[in-house]
Chain A
Amino acid sequence: MATPIIDASHIIKDYGRVRALHGVSLEVGAGEFVALVGPSGCGKTTLLKILAGFEETSEGRLEIEGKDMRGVPAASRPTRMVFQKLALFPHKTVAQNIGFPLKLQRVGKAEIDRRVVSMLELMHLNLDYLDRFPAQLSGGEQQRVALARALISQPGVLLLDEPMSALDAKLKKSLQTELKKLHRELGTSFVLVTHDLEEAMMLADRICVMRAGRVVQIGTPTDIYYRPANMFVAGFIGETNFLPVDVSGALDGGLAVGSPLVAGEPAVMEAGNVSEFLGEGNKALLIRPESIGFLKGEPGPGHWMLTGVVDEYFLKGSTTQYRIRVAGLEAPVVMDLPGSFELPAEVGQEVRIGFEPARAFLLSE
């Protein structure tokens, strides 16, 4: 990365005796879209508030646009925020809301009007809305007004605190699409806090997964999805299957992996750090639901097979999800099959399912 616009290193944040952040480091490049993801209470919102200047760091260093942010109030930072509940001023019209940051900068009236109008156009908002109050707009429209207010002063970084969590699914999708386009057009750096990994995968260039005040993994959506750092990350991202495995030893620069539950030859799997998998502790194969299918006949070479009973199935439109109960596994195996006219199996039917270990990913706890 050339020069990051945000450079946070070893940020520690204590609330009284409770430590909310345990030395978090994060770099955000100019024009990059980074998503902070994690379960509630993981510290993602705290980190965002520290970036915005609503919270001071207890320890660690934060630089934005190359300047140390210690003691710099929110008002003077090159960041603007879109709040979770939007925080539109109920007593100001749409135009006054959007133009507010410019008014504070003592920009002339005519110039404010011009830029407010161009923001409305950018956000595909009707110009008739200028004199309305926020309460008179729909949820999606309020969202756009909040975005317009945050973007009008052309901040270096836009911070978004779960701004779409309250919208219904359809509206959410369309706003997500627009947000991504907006990011591409403006070239501003975006930092998005969300607990919805699907949203993060759709929008972000890089995802930072947090847990209990620590960064667990930072990487591209593909990294996070197919090469999660551990079971927490893997489990956090959508539905997934874990198959407990034994590692019998190193082999050809990889690891020999087998499982008593499956029929098939032990496979040789790649692993970044071989020694990590040779010790004690549980190991598991991460198998995405779309990487498993029904088997007709015997498994081919390089395939592993499990037998089980169909527990339940769900038609999801483009895909059909099956849940298969396998003896020896706690949770049913989840499989996503392409949708079809005919159902391949009924509930209660005994089935064989298979997958290629090469398309799975080896994890240790």
Chain B
Amino acid sequence: MMSQHFKNAVVDTALVGSVVLLLMFFYAPILTLVAFSFTSSRVLTFPIDGFSLQWYGELIRKPDFFPAVINSATVAAVSTLFASVLGTAGAIAWIRYQFRFQNLFRVVTFAPLLFPQLLLGVVMLLWFSVLGNWLNFSTGLVTVIIGHVVYITPFALVIVAVQVYGFDETLEDAARDAGASRWEVFREVTFPLLWPGIFSAAIFAFLLSWGNFYVSYSLSGTARTLPVFVYSGIAVGSSPIYPALATLNFVPALLLVGLAEFLRRRALKRQSTALSTS
């Protein structure tokens, strides 16, 4: 018969162990990429042969690298703007209001999240091709942006909705009571309190768009974003420039994610303690 203490220790170890294993699983390819980016050999075998930064130079010298970066940045910036604004408006409509066809609205605005991205891309590609035939245009960055907005907005909506859900509406009453006009209520109370959610939704949207392959692959036509650039590269043959590219990708992304989460949690905490102690 095992003692209770021993049993608890086993359960705890199993739990902590499972989290550690999961994190190792999630980071195995990422850390491997980082390691390989510093290899001095052209062949991607482990352990790597010596340290060098030559592949970063190689990557930068590749002629279609910078155009892909610029395309990705443009697409991500514009998609983020649209997804955040639409997502915020949608979240308010989801949570703060009750209206006819609200459930239909919820289903339709959430559905792209449940859609395999490849199929979403295909379905939109068919539509743009038909539309393009009629209106005489072809797919390119604009269609990629539209595709990203459709795919990413539901994510942004859910993140902002959490913030809207935690929002205490009497704060708006209090502002009105203090003499605020409709616009002042929004500027002084509603927006600042929703801002952390909107901000982290925007970060999330940006990174989702930046790293998106499926939708871009279907809708980019001849234009290339970074993931498409990588995909067509590794389809031909692997090279250490892709690990180098991956490493360049991680650092700013990690900082952004950390910052967004920090701001969002701080604001939620502030709000909840303010309510619970009163």
Hey, which chain A residues are within 8 Å of B267, CB to CB? 90-91
Indicate if A226 sits at the interface (CB-CB under 8 A).
no
Judging by beta carbons under 8 Å apart, are B174 and A76 in contact? Answer: no
Indicate if A101 sits at the interface (CB-CB under 8 A).
yes
Judging by beta carbons under 8 Å apart, are A166 and B177 in contact? Answer: no
What's the interface size class on A, roughly? 35 or more
Hey, which chain A residues are within 8 Å of B177, CB to CB? 52-54, 74-75, 79-81, 150
Judging by beta carbons under 8 Å apart, are B170 and A100 in contact? Answer: no
Q: Of B193, B270, B277, which is within 8 A of A138 by CB?
A: B277
Judging by beta carbons under 8 Å apart, are A89 and B176 in contact? Answer: no
Indicate if A47 sits at the interface (CB-CB under 8 A).
no
Hey, which chain A residues are within 8 Å of B271, CB to CB? 90, 135
Judging by beta carbons under 8 Å apart, are A75 and B173 in contact? Answer: no
Judging by beta carbons under 8 Å apart, are A135 and B277 in contact? Answer: yes
Shortest beta-carbon distance from B184 to chain A in Å: 6
Hey, which chain A residues are within 8 Å of B278, CB to CB? 85-86, 88, 139, 142-143, 166
Q: Which residues of B166-189 have CB atoms within 8 Å of chain A's CB atoms?
A: 168, 170-171, 173-181, 184, 188-189
Shortest beta-carbon distance from A156 to chain B in Å: 13
Indicate if B273 sits at the interface (CB-CB under 8 A).
yes
Judging by beta carbons under 8 Å apart, are A74 and B193 in contact? Answer: no
Q: Of B168, B270, B277, which is within 8 A of A87 by CB?
A: B168
Judging by beta carbons under 8 Å apart, are B179 and A134 in contact? Answer: no
Indicate if A321 sits at the interface (CB-CB under 8 A).
no
Q: Is the interface of B mostly helix, strand, loop or mixed?
A: helix
Hey, which chain A residues are within 8 Å of B275, CB to CB? 85
Judging by beta carbons under 8 Å apart, are B173 and A135 in contact? Answer: no
Indicate if A83 sits at the interface (CB-CB under 8 A).
yes
Indicate if A149 sits at the interface (CB-CB under 8 A).
yes
Judging by beta carbons under 8 Å apart, are A139 and B176 in contact? Answer: no
How many A-B contacts if CB must be within 8 Å? 88
Query: What 1/0 flags go to A131-151 for Cβ under 8 Å of B?
Result: 001110111001100000110
Judging by beta carbons under 8 Å apart, are B178 and A101 in contact? Answer: yes
Hey, which chain A residues are within 8 Å of B168, CB to CB? 85, 87
Instruction: From known contacts A85-B168, A91-B267, infer whether A54 and B173 are also in contact, taking CB-CB under 8 Å.
Output: yes
Q: How far is the CA of A86 from the CA of B170 in the complex (A)?
A: 9
Instruction: From known contacts A75-B177, A104-B179, A104-B184, infer whether A133 and B270 are also in contact, taking CB-CB under 8 Å.
Output: yes
Judging by beta carbons under 8 Å apart, are A135 and B274 in contact? Answer: yes
Indicate if B67 sits at the interface (CB-CB under 8 A).
no
Q: How far is the CA of A80 from the CA of B184 in the complex (A)?
A: 17
Hey, which chain B residues are within 8 Å of A75, CB to CB? 176-181
Q: A167 — nearest CB in chain B belongs to which residue?
A: B278
Hey, which chain A residues are within 8 Å of B173, CB to CB? 54, 74, 81, 83, 87
Judging by beta carbons under 8 Å apart, are A153 and B179 in contact? Answer: yes
Listed residue (B168, B178, B192, B271) with the most chain A CB atoms within 10 angstroms of its CB: B178
Q: Can you name 13 A-B pairs with beta carbons within 8 Å? A: A76-B179, A79-B177, A80-B177, A83-B170, A86-B278, A90-B171, A100-B188, A104-B180, A134-B274, A135-B271, A135-B277, A137-B277, A153-B178
Known interface pairs A85-B170, A88-B174; 18 further A-B residue pairs with C-beta atoms within 8 A, sorted by A's residue number: A53-B177, A54-B177, A75-B180, A83-B173, A83-B174, A89-B171, A89-B174, A89-B175, A89-B193, A90-B271, A91-B193, A100-B175, A100-B178, A104-B178, A133-B270, A135-B269, A149-B178, A150-B177
